[in-house]
Amino acid sequence: MSTQPPLTITGGRLLLPDGRIEAGAIRCEGGFIAALGPQVQAQAGDTVHDARGLLVAPGLVDVGVFAIDKPAFHFGGVTRAALMPDQNPPLDVSARVRFAAQSGKPDFWVHPLAAATQGLRGEALAEIAMMRDAGARAVATGRRWIGDSGTMLRLLQYTGMLGMVVIAHAEDAGIVGNAVATAGEMATRLGLPSAPARAEALAIARDIALAEMAGAAIHFRNVTTAAGLDLVRTAKARGVRVTAGVSPAYFMLSDLAIGAFRTFTHLSPALRCEEDRQAVVAAIADGTIDIVASSHDPRGPEDKRLPFADSAPGMSGAETLLPLTLSLVRDGVIDMGRAFDLLAVNPARLLGVDAGRLAVGAEADIAVIDPERPWIVNSDKMAASAGNTPFDRQPVQGRVLALFKGGAVVRSKRSGR
Domains defined along the chain, listed by start: 59-351 (3.20.20.140)
**318: which DSSP letter?**
T
Task: Name the CA dihedral angle for 227, 230, 231, 234, rounded to a multiple of 10 degrees.
Answer: -160
- 245 closest CA partner among 148, 127, 113: 113
d(CA 383, CA 373): 18
Q: Which residues of 339-367 are buried (b: 16+ CB within 10 A; e: fewer)?
A: bbbbbbbbbbbbbebebbbbeeebbbbbb
Percentage of the residues of the chain whose pLDDT score is greater than 90: 95
d(CA 106, CA 176): 41
149-162 helix and 198-214 helix, angle to the nearest 10 degrees: 50
pLDDT at position 412: 80
Q: In the Cβ-directed half-sphere of 297, how many Cα atoms lie within 13 Å?
A: 25
Task: Name the CA dihedral angle for 403, 138, 68, 338, rounded to a multiple of 10 degrees.
Answer: -40
Which whole number is the average pLDDT over 259-267? 94
Residue 214 has pLDDT above 60, yes or no: yes
Long-range contacts of 327-330 (CB under 8 A, 24+ apart): 327/252, 327/396, 327/397, 328/251, 328/281, 328/284, 329/371, 330/397
Percentage of the residues of the chain whose pLDDT score is greater than 70: 98
pLDDT digits (tens, 9 = 90+) for 275-325: 999 999 999 999 999 999 999 999 999 999 999 999 999 999 999 999 999
Residue 414 has pLDDT above 80, yes or no: no
pLDDT at position 415: 41
- Reported confidence tier of residue 50, pLDDT bands at 50, 70, 90: very high
Query: How many other CB atoms sit within 10 Å of the CB of residue 247?
Result: 25
Question: Phi and psi dihedrals of 201, rounded to 5?
Answer: -65, -40
Residue 416 has pLDDT above 50, yes or no: no
Strand segments, DSSP code E, in 118-241 are 138-140, 166-168, 181-182, 194-195, 218-220
- Reported confidence tier of residue 2, pLDDT bands at 50, 70, 90: low
The pTM (predicted TM-score) of the whole model is 0.95
pLDDT digits (tens, 9 = 90+) for 366-405: 999 999 999 999 999 999 989 899 999 999 999 999 999 9
3-state SS, residue 330: helix
388 near 314, Cβ under 8 Å?
Answer: yes
Q: Which residues of 112-130 are buried (b: 16+ CB within 10 A; e: fewer)?
A: bbbbbbeebebeebbbbbe
3-state SS, residue 157: helix
**Degrees to nearest 5, angle at CA 169 with 165 and 171:** 140
d(CA 104, CA 329): 31
3-state SS, residue 4: coil
Which whole number is the average pLDDT over 254-282? 96
Which whole number is the average pLDDT over 1-17? 88
Sheet with 291-292, edge to edge strand ranges: 60-65, 78-83, 109-115, 138-140, 166-168, 218-220, 242-246, 291-292
pLDDT digits (tens, 9 = 90+) for 343-371: 999 999 999 999 999 999 999 999 999 99
Q: How many residues does the chain have?
A: 417
Long-range contacts of 280-285 (CB under 8 A, 24+ apart): 280/223, 280/224, 280/229, 280/246, 280/250, 280/251, 281/251, 281/328, 281/333, 283/223, 283/229, 283/232, 283/233, 283/244, 283/246, 284/246, 284/251, 284/328, 284/333, 284/334, 284/342, 285/333, 285/334
pLDDT at position 411: 84
Q: What are the beta bridge partners of residue 23?
A: 13
d(CA 185, CA 273): 9
**Degrees to nearest 5, angle at CA 219 with 357 and 338:** 35
Query: How many other CB atoms sit within 10 Å of the CB of residue 220?
Result: 28
Residue 193 has pLDDT above 70, yes or no: yes
Q: First-to-last CA distance in the chain?
A: 30
Q: State the chain's mean pLDDT as an integer.
A: 95
Given the DSSP bridges, would you call strands 166-168 and 181-182 parallel, antiparallel or unpaired? unpaired
- 235 closest CA partner among 205, 213, 261, 260: 205
Question: Phi and psi dihedrals of 222, rounded to 5?
Answer: -135, 115
- 144 closest CA partner among 166, 120, 115, 125: 120
pLDDT at position 36: 95
- 83 closest CA partner among 69, 107, 95, 66: 66
pLDDT at position 413: 67
64 near 295, Cβ under 8 Å?
Answer: yes
d(CA 346, CA 61): 9
pLDDT at position 89: 96
Which whole number is the average pLDDT over 6-34? 95
